[in-house]
Amino acid sequence: MQNKIILEGLRIYAYHGVIEQERKVGAYFLIDLEVETNFSYAMQSDVLSGTINYADLYDIVKREMAEPSRLIEQVAGRIAKAILVEHSSVQSIRLKIIKENPPIGADCRGAGIEIFYKQ
């Protein structure tokens, strides 16, 4: 059985970008996170200790997004690493980070990256 905890459409204001102005002014980022873990015990017992609290995952994302970086690739790597360190039961992570209205000189809703990590 494949079990996933999903945070979809998180919208966080942060200060990431190659251009110095991006790191000063900031922008909104949309984040989707899927964490694969075995929560079959939680399904049977209805106890939080049998799964990963999605509020804890949000706290990790929020904390790492608060640290300015030039590249969202680095931010994604930090988020994934922190999740793996703090939750040893994680089997895989899929993380998508999209910067809204990126300064690329085009009419564009967003630009970003997606990573997939499997233990």
Tokens of 46: 């209805």
pLDDT for residue 68: 96
The answer to whether position 110 is within a domain reads: no
Query: How does pLDDT run across 30-62, given as a tens digit for each residue?
Result: 999 999 999 999 999 999 989 999 999 999 999
The model carries a pTM of: 0.93
The answer to whether position 43 is within a domain reads: no
Strand partners, 118: 92
The answer to whether position 87 is within a domain reads: yes
The answer to whether position 59 is within a domain reads: no
Query: How does pLDDT run across 47-106, given as a tens digit for each residue?
Result: 998 999 999 999 999 999 999 999 999 999 999 999 999 999 999 999 999 999 887 878
Residue ranges making up the domain that contains 79: 1-14+68-102
State the catalytic residues.
99
The answer to whether position 88 is within a domain reads: yes
Q: How many domains does the chain have?
A: 1
Distance, in Å, from the CA atom of 41 to the CA atom of 101, rounded to the nearest integer, reads 42
The answer to whether position 29 is within a domain reads: no
The answer to whether position 8 is within a domain reads: yes
The answer to whether position 81 is within a domain reads: yes
